[in-house]
Amino acid sequence: MKIIIRPPGTGKTQELIEESAKNKGVIVCCDSGRVKSIQGLALTKGLNIPTPITFEAFVDGYTKGSYIGELYIDSIEECFQSLTSIPIKIITAQSERK
């Protein structure tokens, strides 16, 4: 698993879109507005990506038993925060072992 950590506006989502176009992975977004935004960005760049899904659809099991081979999650902190009104202050991630 690759984790992209950079400041806002530095191309993280663009990188996801490019990977999605290359590998046909489905992008998971925090909400339907972001789904539309990502579809628009891909269209603007002339990239063909599978239709992104919302984090809610992901949590509800949309991907279980599906044809989806890879998932790319956009702004994981926003996705998890969308599940609760309680502020999430810390998220940990495991780095890849070499």
Contact by Cβ (8 Å): 70, 24 = yes
pLDDT band of residue 98 (cuts 50, 70, 90) is: low
Residue 29 inside a domain? The answer is yes
Contact by Cβ (8 Å): 49, 71 = no
Question: pLDDT tens digit string along 37-58?
Answer: 999 999 999 999 999 999 998 8
Question: pLDDT tens digit string along 55-90?
Answer: 998 888 877 767 788 999 999 989 988 888 999 999
**Residue by residue, what is the 3-state secondary structure of 12-56?**
HHHHHHHHHHHHCCEEEECCHHHHHHHHHHHHHCCCCCCCCEEHH
Residue 5 inside a domain? The answer is no
Between 10 and 93, name the one with better pLDDT: 10
Residue 45 inside a domain? The answer is yes
State residue 49's pLDDT score. 97
Q: How many distinct structural domains can be found in the chain?
A: 1
What is the extent of the structural domain holding 71?
Answer: 12-81
Q: In degrees rounded to 5, what are phi and psi of residue 66?
A: -95, 180
